[in-house]
């Protein structure tokens, strides 16, 4: 059952409909997305799903959600934005999150370790690309032939749109480029370029390889012989 996203979603939804507060943990991004999609398909307008801006979503650091929930329950009401700082600091401060993980036991401590490890890894990767602004730019040499990669031996693919569609999260900002992770971009010809092409919202993606289609909050495009979907769940192969 663990690999059957619809079955996992159905069991979680059944428990939630019976009054339980359900948390579904998946150990891969693809499994999390598949389960989220299965839940939304089974209960498209259900208020049982966690939401942000009226859209159901998955949140990476569950400690923040639990801390926020506890803060909300501790008061009869909150006045925003006057109490924003108290709410944000009380739900995101490292000491608060550490104490919460300790209080909730081993499973939460493991989750905290994964979140902290991810943060440290991201900081280390970012540090590799830092430039010392205190010295002249011409003195900040960069080794020839070197690139900054997120994984050893891997190089992400940056796709530039000739006629950018609007950003999914800020429609007034054009989506000029999109980064495709190395593992999604292997085997695609270096000269493959996407071409923007609008389609009717109700229609399926059409067009030859190399065609990008944008409709509403979802962008679908093909690069070479491979298709992708980019929406609020992130970027993923279209075959998923």
Report how far residue 31's alpha carbon sits from residue 114's, in angstroms, rounded to the nearest whole number: 17
Residue with tokens 């999260």: 169
Q: What is the pLDDT along the chain (240 residues), one digit of tens a residue?
A: 788 999 998 998 898 888 888 888 787 888 888 888 888 888 877 777 766 445 555 567 888 888 988 988 888 888 878 888 888 889 889 899 999 989 999 988 998 898 889 888 888 888 877 777 787 766 666 566 665 555 555 678 888 888 888 887 777 888 888 888 888 888 888 888 887 655 445 445 444 444 444 444 678 888 888 888 888 788 888 865
Same domain? 76 vs 32? no
Same domain? 64 vs 106? yes
Q: Which pLDDT value is given to residue 11?
A: 92
169 φ/ψ angles, rounded to the nearest 5 degrees: -110, -15
Report how far residue 96's alpha carbon sits from residue 91's, in angstroms, rounded to the nearest whole number: 7
Show which of 58, 76, 97 is a domain's final residue: 58
Same domain? 108 vs 170? no
| Structural domain for 46, as ranges | 1-58
Same domain? 64 vs 140? yes
> Which token pair is 12?
């979680």
Same domain? 144 vs 117? yes
Same domain? 139 vs 186? no
Same domain? 25 vs 47? yes
Q: Which pLDDT value is given to residue 208?
A: 45
Show which of 15, 33, 58 is a domain's final residue: 58
Reference 21, options 65, 64, 55; nearest CA is 65
Note whether 65 and 104 are within 8 A (CB). Answer: no
Same domain? 219 vs 169? yes
Show which of 103, 125, 148 is a domain's final residue: 148
For residue 128, the number of C-alpha atoms closer than 13 Å in the C-beta half-sphere is 12
Positive or negative, the CA dihedral 194, 195, 201, 204 is: negative
Report how far residue 150's alpha carbon sits from residue 182's, in angstroms, rounded to the nearest whole number: 9
For helices 94-104 and 84-92, the axis angle rounded to 10 degrees is 50
Same domain? 64 vs 142? yes
Report how far residue 195's alpha carbon sits from residue 112's, in angstroms, rounded to the nearest whole number: 42
Same domain? 166 vs 232? yes
**Structural domain total, the chain:** 3
Same domain? 144 vs 64? yes
């Amino acid at each position: 059952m663990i690999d059957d996203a619809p079955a996992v979603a159905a069991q979680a939804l059944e428990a939630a409909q019976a009054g339980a507060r359900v948390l579904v943990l998946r150990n891969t991004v693809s499994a999390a997305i598949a389960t989220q999609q299965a839940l939304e398909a089974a209960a498209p307008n259900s208020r049982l799903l966690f939401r942000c801006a009226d859209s159901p979503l998955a949140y990476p650091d569950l400690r923040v959600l639990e801390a926020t929930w506890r803060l909300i329950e501790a008061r009869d009401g909150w006045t925003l934005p006057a109490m924003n700082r108290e709410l944000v600091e009380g739900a995101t401060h490292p000491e608060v999150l550490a104490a919460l993980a300790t209080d909730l036991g081993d499973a939460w401590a493991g989750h905290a370790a994964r979140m902290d490890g991810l943060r440290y890894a991201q900081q280390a990767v970012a540090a590799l690309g830092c430039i010392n602004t205190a010295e002249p730019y011409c003195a900040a040499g960069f080794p020839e032939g070197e690139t900054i990669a997120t994984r050893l031996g891997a190089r992400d693919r940056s796709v530039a749109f000739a006629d950018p569609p609007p950003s999914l999260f800020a429609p007034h900002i054009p989506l000029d480029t999109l980064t495709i992770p190395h593992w999604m971009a292997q085997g695609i010809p270096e000269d493959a370029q996407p071409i923007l092409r609008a389609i009717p919202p109700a229609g399926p993606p059409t067009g030859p390889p190399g065609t990008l289609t944008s409709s509403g909050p979802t962008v679908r495009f093909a690069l070479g012989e491979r298709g992708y979907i980019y929406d609020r769940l992130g970027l993923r192969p279209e075959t998923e």
